Amino acid sequence: MVTFDHREPGTSEDAWVRAGILDVPRLDVGEVAHLVVLAAHPDDESFGAAGLVHELAGRGAAVTVVVATDGEASHAGSTTISPARLRAVRRAEVADAVAVLAPAARVVLPGLPDGGLREHRGDLARVLGDVLDDVLAGPGGGGVPPSSVVLCAPWRGDGHRDHRIAGEVAAEVADRLGLRLLEYPVWLWHWAEPGDDAVPWPTLRALPLGAAARDAKRRALAAHVTQVEPLSATPGDEATLGPEMLRHADRGVEVLVDASGRRVAKEPADPGASLGAGFFERFYAGRRDPWGFETRWYEQRKRAVLLASLPRRRFRAALELGCSTGVLTAELAARCDRVVGVDVAEAPLAQARRRLGPEVELLRLDTPDEWPDGTFDLVVLSEVLYYYGRDDLDRALDRATASLADDGVLVACHWRHDVVEYPLGGDEVHARLAARPELDRLAHHVEEDFVLDVLVRRPAVSVARATGLL
């Protein structure tokens, strides 16, 4: 799971250059009769594949660009432009941008909801399938060999849900039709660091861009005015693609992922099997803050919501399961006389020890088989329960409840979006938690991104009643 804030500076282009991004193996596209580019949003095609479009169009290849959504949610906080107006403007921008790169290109705009490709996966598959069926049929129905068609789509690991879904759909269609598949990262350059395990170095390929191609790419990106320039000085109208992102796009090479050997999407995790310690040790290897606990506003805000949901100012003893690097643990320690943090992996615990004082007890335990001794009047289960298989989840909840003091509070908070590597989803975890007969919900907070529950032993008493206001 990757989260990021596009308003942050992100990783510098200089860091990527020092790591050798300009020196990855060259891309050989061969003889191409037709290039089909899939974009999740207007501007993706210009950021990630403009050089490829310009190069192949210049060689005489036909080009079709499919833009799944109209990008109407790019400025969701804006008070100066409506989604309907932004939709119309961005449709015009992408038409202008593609015309710079390949004047004869066909642009397909199905108008699927921005941020909603997961819910419209089938619709996107049908649109892309129909486009490619037409391409393979050839002019006049004469037929085009699949080996002469290249499909280019967002990289599946890009950290944006719409990009992932678009990439997965493209991979499925390419596999079915026997097409060569290339993928282009967009946000990877922003949120990742060169040494991260997530960076697909072995499959990165570089397409050299001459002066004409670089100029065309710059002009194409400039056509996306709503993304590269602020809409106004009003908060919420900031540019989506900041200066460092534009530097990534202005390389002398366009870096793509050769996905020909990675057609099949990851198999979903077994919902009956928990993730073991090895998964987390590999995940943290060489990565100090892989989830962005320290830097991302999303994480900061979520912690603030969790802490504000606690029904008491102070607690005697707290247990935090899955404490990771101790960022939330530190804030719990400010409100608790004693805190016990538990994690299954040593790498994040080592960071937590450096962050926290001796008053916090940190334990490496493989829960639910292992469990800390004692009783706690606060149990925090944040972004941890979906790592369990269903049986282990029930055992973990049994043990957490058994650890809960009579006046104890149990807080759970989890990501709601699908993560293929996780056995369970956040909604299922919270449904099973809500079904516990010994617990009552004191608070229930749901957003698109996360769900948070505060539970106590029956019967629940509101904060107002508990403090004498009622």
Same domain, residue pair 212 and 104: yes
Same domain, residue pair 120 and 169: yes
| Token reading at 47 | 């950021």
Same domain, residue pair 374 and 408: yes
pLDDT of residue 285: 64
Question: Is-cis flag, bond preceding 103, omega within 30?
Answer: no
pLDDT of residue 286: 55
Model confidence at 391: pLDDT above 50: yes
With beta carbons less than 8 A apart as the criterion, state whether 284 and 348 touch: yes
With beta carbons less than 8 A apart as the criterion, state whether 181 and 27 touch: no
Same domain, residue pair 253 and 292: no
Model confidence at 1: pLDDT above 70: no
Model confidence at 300: pLDDT above 60: yes
Same domain, residue pair 203 and 96: yes
Same domain, residue pair 201 and 289: no
Choosing from 258, 286, 320, the residue where a domain stops is 258
5 lies in a domain? no
Of 280-294, 370-384, 404-418, the poorest mean pLDDT is in 280-294
- For 406, counting Cβ atoms within 10 Å of its Cβ (0-12 exposed, 13-18 middle, 19+ buried), the class is exposed
- 335 secondary structure, DSSP code: T
Choosing from 197, 230, 258, the residue where a domain stops is 258
pLDDT of residue 151: 97
Residue 167: name the closest of 121, 204, 132 by CA: 121
With beta carbons less than 8 A apart as the criterion, state whether 151 and 182 touch: yes
271 lies in a domain? no
Q: What is the SS3 assignment for 222?
A: helix
The span from the CA of 100 to the CA of 94, in Å, is 10
Q: pLDDT tens for residues 55-79? A: 999 999 999 999 999 999 999 989 9
89 lies in a domain? yes
Same domain, residue pair 282 and 254: no
> Confidence band (pLDDT; 50, 70, 90) for 288?
confident
Same domain, residue pair 296 and 373: yes
Model confidence at 349: pLDDT above 60: yes
Mean pLDDT of the chain: 93
Q: pLDDT tens for residues 145-190? A: 899 999 999 999 999 999 999 999 999 899 888 899 999 999 999 9
- CA dihedral sign, ordered 398, 403, 408, 412: negative
Mean pLDDT of 304-328: 97
Q: What is the SS3 assignment for 289?
A: coil
Choosing from 231, 258, 285, the residue where a domain stops is 258
pLDDT of residue 93: 98
Give 398 or 294, the one with higher predicted confidence: 398
Same domain, residue pair 288 and 250: no
With beta carbons less than 8 A apart as the criterion, state whether 181 and 260 touch: yes
The span from the CA of 216 to the CA of 250, in Å, is 11
Model confidence at 459: pLDDT above 90: yes
The structure tokens 């004692």 sit at: 374
Q: pLDDT tens for residues 364-386? A: 999 999 999 999 999 999 999 99
The span from the CA of 258 to the CA of 262, in Å, is 8
Model confidence at 388: pLDDT above 70: yes
| Token reading at 97 | 């941008």
Model confidence at 357: pLDDT above 90: no
CATH number reported for the structural domain that contains residue 349 in this entry = 3.40.50.150
Per cent of the chain over pLDDT 70 is: 97
Model confidence at 264: pLDDT above 70: no
405 lies in a domain? yes
Model confidence at 265: pLDDT above 90: no
243 lies in a domain? yes
With beta carbons less than 8 A apart as the criterion, state whether 321 and 381 touch: yes
Total number of domains constituting the chain: 2
Same domain, residue pair 253 and 289: no
- For 132, counting Cβ atoms within 10 Å of its Cβ (0-12 exposed, 13-18 middle, 19+ buried), the class is buried
Q: pLDDT tens for residues 202-226? A: 999 999 999 999 999 999 999 999 9
- What is the domain range of residue 343? 277-466
Same domain, residue pair 244 and 314: no
Model confidence at 255: pLDDT above 70: yes
Per cent of the chain over pLDDT 90 is: 82
378 lies in a domain? yes
Same domain, residue pair 289 and 240: no
268 lies in a domain? no
pLDDT of residue 5: 80
The structure tokens 């908060």 sit at: 235
For 271-382, strand residue ranges (E) read 315-321, 336-343, 360-364, 376-382
436 lies in a domain? yes
pLDDT of residue 292: 76
CATH number reported for the structural domain that contains residue 153 in this entry = 3.40.50.10320
Give 252 or 420, the one with higher predicted confidence: 252
